Structure formats: C-alpha cells, structure tokens
Chains A and B, each alone.
Chain A
Amino acid sequence: MKVIVNKKEIEIFNGAKVADAIRLYYSLKTKKTTSEFPIVEDAFGNGLDADGRLSEGDRLFIKENEDEK
C-alpha cells in the first residue's frame, strides 16, 4: 500500500504500522533510525503512536526535523 511520509510517497507492505513506515522512510533516505521514536503527526496535527495501524493513502509527518517536511 502507499502512504505518504513528509510529503514523500512510499510503498510499504499491507498492514504496516506507523513505526514501519517511519523505518522505511528513513531507510530510503539512508538515515539511521534513532532508538527514540520521533514525534509523528497525521495530516490533522494529531499525534500518532508507533504501533498505530496504517491504511492506504495515510499521511504522516515527522516532527523531529522540521526541514524534512
């Protein structure tokens, strides 16, 4: 399924969680995943837990580094 992280569309396995999408996003950016899970928000500015389940088209924003948006 396709989800959007920081405005970048990524394709991830069906049934993935927020943490999986962030991990994949970081791996695509060849950035090491930090041991501390970053603050992640949805398109409405709500906080998302790492183990939240994703659906097709969900939009995520990593808040730890504003310039990545």
Chain B
Amino acid sequence: MKSKILLFIGLAIAFGSCKTSKKTVAKESENQTVEILAVNDIHANIDNFPRFGFMVDSLRAIYPDLLLFSAGDNQTGNPANDQYSPKGLPMIELMNALKFDVTAVGNHEFDAGQKGFAFLTEQSHFPYLCANVSNYEASGIKIKPYHIISMDNGVKLAIFSLLSINSGGIPDSHPMHLEGLQFQRPENICPDYYDLAKKNNCDALILLSHVGFEGDVKLAEQAPQGSIDLIIGGHTHTTVKDEKYINNILITQSGSKLRYISLIKLTIKDKQVIGRSMELLPINKKGNERADIRSMVDKYNDNPSLNVTVAVAEDDFSSPDKVGYLMVDALRSKTNADIALINPGGIRIGYLDKGNVTVMDVYKMDPFGNEITLFNLTGEELKSLHISAFKSDVKSPMCPSGIQSVYTLNPDGSIKEIEFFTESGEPLDMNKTYLVAMNSYMSAAYRFDHKDPGKSLFRTTAESMIEYLKELRTIPSYRNEQRTKVIKE
C-alpha cells in the first residue's frame, strides 16, 4: 500500500494535478472519509521542509480535504531557526506556507519564553491546543484546549490536546520560561474531554498528544470505549511503523525531525468512526521539492543572526583548556552553580582568535546540542566524578570553574589523589555540598557516586553561552588562567 501511495504522489505531480476542493456533503448513511497527515517533534528541522512540502501538495492532489496536524515540539534544535530574530519565526512561516490546520503545544514551544511564544502564536495561521495548561492569558499566548474542524464533506472533528508534565509538575522546558503558568497532569484532565465530540455534535474525537507513547497508551487504557477514536502522539520521538490499537484506540507517532509522516484515514458512518488506518511514509532526503519552500529554507539558512558578533575577545585563546575555561565560566554564571565542569571532548576548537566572537563560533566550540544538567554533589562525590571522567577522557582533566583541581598520578598514570581548591587557593571544604553544572553527556557517560539524581534544565549549553557572551560583551584574557595541575610521581 505504501508503494501505491508513493506512486500516486508521483503521478499526481507528473500530471500537474492541483488542489480543487469539492464541496460535497455526503448523505447521512454514506461512508465519509477523513485523511490526516500527522507529524510531531519537527524540532526546527527546516531542511526537510522542501521535500515535505512536495509530499503534502502531492497528497492534497489525491485527498483535496487532507488535514495537516502537528503533535507539538515544532521548535528548538536548529540554530538557523533558534537564533533567528525573532526566534522561531522560520518554523512558523514554513508551517503557515504548508497550511497546517492545528498543532499541539509541545514543551519546546515555551523555549522562546512566554513573550516569544505569544508572538509566535500571533504569527501562526493555525491554532495551538493544550487542555492541561492554565493562567497563560496574561502572557498573551494564544492557546485553546480544543478545536472543532468542520469539513466540506460535512464531517466534524473534535480535537483536544494534552502536554507531558514531568515529576516536577511542569513540562520539560527551562523553569524560567514557565513562571506563572499552571499545569495539570494529563491523566487528570483527559476524562473532562471524553464527551467533547458528543457535546459538539462531532463525528470523531482525536487526542493530539504531546505526552509520549507510553503515556498515550495509559491514556488510551483509561478511556471509556467509544470516547477517543485516535491519538496522534509526540514527545518521545517514537516511530510507530504499524497500526497500534490500545483499548480500540489507534495511536500514531512519526519519529522526529520530519524523517517520517503518518497518513491516517478515518471512515465515518452515521456519526461513528467505523474504520481507521495508518501508514508511515518516509521523507527521503533526495527527490522532488516544493520550489517556494526551498527558497524560504535557503533564506533562513543564510541567517545573518548566525554571524552576529556576541562579544569581543581581548586576547587570543591558544589552547583548548583556555576555551574550556570560558565555556565553564559561562555555564556557571548562567546556572548560578558553585562549580561548573566540562569534559575535554566537549571543547571542539583548540583556539579562538582575538576580536569578534560570533554565534557561529559558539556552535563551533559546542556543536553537540548537549543540555545543561545540575547536581548537588558532596566533596567526595565531586572527587568520584573527577576520577571517572579522568579514566574516560584518556587521562585528561576536566576544565573547572569555581574550583582548581590538582591531580597526583601514580607511575602507571592512574590517579593517586585529587585535591580541590577554591578560586582563591584555599582547600575546598569536602564536607559541604555543592551545586555542580555540567553537560548532559557528562551526566550520563561518567559513572560516579551521587545521591542526587540530577536534573536537566532543558536548554543547551551553547544557548546559555551565547546569552552569557551577549551580556559580557568583552571577553577578558584567559592567557594566564591555569585551573588544573597534573603531578606525575
């Protein structure tokens, strides 16, 4: 069937089909069909939009009333979009150009800050749905709990949306972006919408979910039979290849970053969904593209914001550790941590010339997209982290901010002792607990003792460094900085 769809796409374009929506209202007893093209977690992967746009147009040639849904996290993950001014606008303009019908609010929609998100909702030609957030009106963010779509063929769809809430009671976004907003757990709110379709005389009830696949399974299991017909999901970047029914509810999700799209078909008769199907279609990197979308993407990728000077370095940085000290000073400053650390492998440039430092320079230093993590560590736990890191990093010390570290090695190169000192040279109080910032790679790759499980701040180290440098404006010389010492016995 998939090959048939792809063949249809090719034929539709070859014969120059165009969208001609026919307004035909089916009689009550006739079967009516609804086709929905669903994506999720695009994460600003604008480079796949020209191909995606071609596929959307091609499918619209086959299904003139095709609906286009996003299950959230349209934003964050590509500097061309994230560093654009205004932040995130390229994604909105592309989604407008493709005529999205609706999107869920994903946790990363808040990454632009409430003012930024409000602006993006204002610019969007499609509604944002989320039923488990409240108190957002003052921020200007335009969100609806649900949306009703009345189609030309007479079918009415009720769509509501839910957002994942973490153990801290908020979505996975930096807490500073969520101040004043209130969130409720999706499983507590979901039952309020079971009768949404009936109340609004709709033919089907769709949950556009940014809860994650396993969460969607739980929501489906708790739903009464005949309430929810379909869950279009996102958040966990799950690629649901085959039709998955839980409690007679079809659950879909199409991976992430526009590598796949889900084509969903509903068959409706006498105001009941009598048939459902789903196909996962790949968006290949090569193939026909929509020319106008290609022009837009090329323009965004030629983003002058990436070449903007964020600070001026007063001196050359001539070694990776000096660059690393700058990176950890940024990390410590932006997190208010006592100590910040970076692994040698996390510093991707060995020098930085005196003069202008651009946004792109920061992404060259720190290209991985690692997120900031915070841990409360005792002195002994800090030592355990250093020992693990030293072993993993081919016996190179981490770059610190807030402390100095002295490694004494055995003749075989293993660690005999590590001592820590404050910035002023006093021995570090090993009985105290310190707030330590690092990147998410280090948090997972190093095997170290820690009672605090740690937490992500849901923003990248590179983004926080850009912000730090913009505030700093002038980067002082790090020429004489030496924060680690390795003594071989």
Q: Which residues of B contact A46 (CB under 8 A)?
A: 213, 238-241, 244, 253
Q: Which residues of B contact A43 (CB under 8 A)?
A: 214
Verify A27–B445 contact, CB threshold 8 A.
yes
A64 to chain B, nearest CB (A): 16
Q: CB-CB contacts of A35-69 with B at 8 A, as 1s and 0s?
A: 00000001110111101111111110000000000
Q: Which residues of B contact A48 (CB under 8 A)?
A: 236-239
Q: Which residues of A contact B241 (CB under 8 A)?
A: 46-47
Alpha-carbon gap, A43 to B167, bound state (A) = 21
Alpha-carbon gap, A6 to B444, bound state (A) = 17
Alpha-carbon gap, A42 to B230, bound state (A) = 20
Verify B215–A55 contact, CB threshold 8 A.
yes
Among residues of A, the one whose C-beta sits closest to the C-beta of B217 is: A44
Alpha-carbon gap, A12 to B454, bound state (A) = 7
B483 interface contact, C-beta 8 A: no
Alpha-carbon gap, A23 to B213, bound state (A) = 22
Q: Which residues of A contact B453 (CB under 8 A)?
A: 1, 11-14
Number of CB contacts from chain A to chain B under 8 A = 115
Which one of B214, B244, B447 has the greatest number of beta carbons of chain A within 10 Å?
A: B214
Q: Which residues of A contact B440 (CB under 8 A)?
A: 13, 16-17, 20
Which residues 223-273 in B have Cβ within 8 Å of A in the complex?
235-241, 244, 253, 255-257
Verify A23–B238 contact, CB threshold 8 A.
no
Verify A23–B373 contact, CB threshold 8 A.
no
Alpha-carbon gap, A52 to B457, bound state (A) = 16
Q: CB-CB contacts of A1-41 with B at 8 A, as 1s and 0s?
A: 10000000001111111111101100110100100000000
Among residues of A, the one whose C-beta sits closest to the C-beta of B253 is: A46
B455 interface contact, C-beta 8 A: yes
Q: Which residues of B contact A49 (CB under 8 A)?
A: 237-239, 255-257
Q: Which residues of B contact A59 (CB under 8 A)?
A: 214
Q: Which residues of B contact A20 (CB under 8 A)?
A: 440-441, 443-444
Verify B166–A15 contact, CB threshold 8 A.
yes
Alpha-carbon gap, A49 to B238, bound state (A) = 7
B338 interface contact, C-beta 8 A: no
Q: Which residues of A contact B371 (CB under 8 A)?
A: 15
Alpha-carbon gap, A12 to B456, bound state (A) = 10
Alpha-carbon gap, A27 to B77, bound state (A) = 26
Q: CB-CB contacts of B424-460 with A at 8 A, as 1s and 0s?
A: 0000000000000000110111110000011111100
Verify A55–B212 contact, CB threshold 8 A.
yes
Which one of A19, A43, A51, A55 has the greatest number of beta carbons of chain B within 10 Å?
A: A55
Alpha-carbon gap, A58 to B166, bound state (A) = 13
B375 interface contact, C-beta 8 A: yes
8 A-B residue pairs with CB within 8 Å: A20-B440, A27-B445, A27-B446, A42-B238, A46-B213, A48-B238, A52-B238, A53-B212
A contacts, CB < 8 Å to B: 1, 11-21, 23-24, 27-28, 30, 33, 42-44, 46-49, 51-59
Given contacts A46-B240, A53-B172, 10 further A-B contacts (CB under 8 A): A12-B444, A13-B375, A24-B445, A30-B447, A33-B445, A42-B213, A42-B236, A46-B213, A46-B253, A47-B255
